[in-house]
Amino acid sequence: MTNNALTPGIAAGRLDQTAYADNFSDLHPPLDHHEALVAADRCYFCHDAPCITACPTDIDIPLFIRQIATGTPEAAAKTILGQNILGGMCARVCPTETLCEQACVREAAEGKPVLIGQLQRYATDTVMEKGTHPFMRAEPTGKTIAVVGAGPAGLACAHRLAMKGHDVTLYDGRDKPGGLNEFGIATYKTVDSFAEREVTWLMQIGGIILETGKRLGRDMTLDQLKSDHDAVFLGIGLGGVNALGLPGEDKDGMLDAVDFISDLRQSNDLSSLPIGRDVVVIGGGMTAVDAAVQAKLLGALNVSLVYRRGRGRMNASGFEQDLAASKGVRIITNASPKAVHGNGAVREIEFEYTDNDLNPTGETVRLPADQVFKAIGQTLDGDDLPALDGRKIAITGAGRTSIEGVWAGGDCATGGDDLTVTAVAEGRDAAEDIHATLIS
């Protein structure tokens, strides 16, 4: 991480190796064949299935579950992947409890939905484990497209364009592809290097050249990309991190949660990662919960997650909040950070309680902290971009920007929720629009 690891109270190797292996094992172990059949048998196969409407990628959920139930998981996988080429990752990280499973008729009737996410994983894992790719490239069109950003939106866009017969160059500023899936999701949600393996599998479609270490604005310009290609898709994510705006924010021990999670995901030895005894995470989204839970799993004695609004306003789902609480994370709501205290390194962080309208009540609390993770959102980082709407790239229709021949999608663009599944849908739909434009 940084030299903050030298701050007193922050240390590596707080647990034995067995504890690390147990703590960071698969959050939802995969279904075996019998379990998948039992789970599939609970589906009513509704003709007007509300679960399809609730899925941002419009997967025909009753169809793929019926295909599992009839012993054809490979066919089920093709049904899924035809709509969501990153269906394996989405099966692991989608907040299904607020999307398809919340809409499930079984959930409404019994409070126990069909295990849609786990069934999706069963089907997609079956295909990936066989190493097969269910799609083939169309005849080459002679058209070339630059896709900038190898995260969920960029990968989905690149795959769909390649499948249509276009030649795609996929650029990413990091040294490996995957974006959020590779660097920004809790380790226990995607074990065994799944994100990396999924990208390798996706690239089997052919027609995609991957160039890593290439960042827009540093190594290439939008004008260059437009000149060299027939179309450009921007899926650059959100590279900047919001600051608290507090005096003392630069003290040792004050870190960005996204960097902490990235370090975890790329580590080959969790016992080498330094963690504090008293950890405070500021924020109320998925990143905040992932950071808080993993801090506890690394051996932090006390972990507090502090959010300025009430629990009902947290972006993290109820399931994620309950998961944090079950791991020993203390959740404090209606409290905004006011000051960072310490001499060189953080020792306490002071919060002021607020009402539901964020008005300060005058009551404050100081939490001991030798490590603080900031998870209050990210911002678009870059110049020479299409017109913005607020702090994101403005888009109309299927990702069209203010610049002709340039599309955008995913977290960097206006549109849906900042979810992996939403990014996949936006990348896929932009690819279809790019294809229709280029062959018209």
**265-307 tens-digit pLDDT:** 999 999 999 999 999 999 999 999 999 999 999 999 999 999 9
CA distance 114 to 420: 21
Average pLDDT over residues 84-107: 97
Q: Residue 278, Cα to own-chain centre: how many angstroms?
A: 27
Candidates 359, 353, 318, 317; CA nearest to 333 is 353
Average pLDDT over residues 140-158: 98
Q: Under CATH, to which class is 144-239+380-439 assigned? A: alpha beta
Q: What b/e string do you get for 103-127 counting C-beta neighbours within 10 Å, with b at 16 or more? A: bbbbbeeeeebbbbbbbbbbbbbbb
- State residue 6's pLDDT score: 52
Report which secondary-structure segment, H or E, holds 118: helix 116-130
> Which tokens is 304 given?
């507090």
Average pLDDT over residues 188-198: 96
Report which secondary-structure segment, H or E, holds 388: strand 388-389
Identify whether the C-beta of residue 298 lies closer than 8 Å to the C-beta of residue 15: yes
CA distance 33 to 46: 23
CA distance 323 to 97: 13
Candidates 159, 148, 150, 30; CA nearest to 85 is 159
- How much is the pTM? 0.95
CATH of domain 33-130: 1.10.1060.10
Would you give the DSSP letter of residue 328? T
- State residue 9's pLDDT score: 85
- Dmax (CA) of the chain: 68
- State residue 5's pLDDT score: 45
**Angle, in degrees to the nearest 10, between helices 116-130 and 73-83:** 100
Three-class SS of residue 214?
coil
Work out the burial of residue 182: count CB atoms within 10 Å of its CB; fewer than 13 is exposed, 13-18 middle, 19 or more buried: buried
Q: What's the mean per-residue pLDDT of the chain? A: 95
Domain with CATH 3.50.50.60 in the chain: 144-239+380-439, 241-377
Write out pLDDT tens, residues 364-423.
Answer: 999 999 999 999 999 998 888 999 999 999 999 999 999 999 999 999 999 867 899 999
Measure the CA angle with vertex 236, ends 57 and 337; round to 5°.
95
- Written as one letter, the residue type at 46 is C
- Written as one letter, the residue type at 233 is F
- Written as one letter, the residue type at 181 is N
Q: Under CATH, to which class is 241-377 assigned? A: alpha beta
- Written as one letter, the residue type at 9 is G
- Written as one letter, the residue type at 91 is A
Q: Residue 97, Cα to own-chain centre: how many angstroms?
A: 16
Percent of the chain with pLDDT over 90: 93
Write out pLDDT tens, residues 302-335.
Answer: 999 999 999 999 999 999 999 999 999 999 999 9
CA distance 262 to 439: 40
Average pLDDT over residues 100-105: 97
Dihedral pair phi/psi, residue 306, rounded to 5°: -120, 130
Three-class SS of residue 307?
coil
Dihedral pair phi/psi, residue 262, rounded to 5°: -60, -45
CA distance 222 to 218: 11
CA distance 50 to 162: 31
- State residue 418's pLDDT score: 82
Is the pLDDT assigned to residue 339 strictly greater than 70? yes
- Written as one letter, the residue type at 337 is P
Phi-psi region of 43 (alpha: psi -120 to 50; beta: other; left: phi over 0): beta
Between the alpha carbon of residue 408 and those of residues 135, 231, 350, the distances in Å are 24, 11, 40
Identify whether the C-beta of residue 386 lies closer than 8 Å to the C-beta of residue 393: yes
- State residue 3's pLDDT score: 45
Candidates 334, 196, 345; CA nearest to 268 is 196
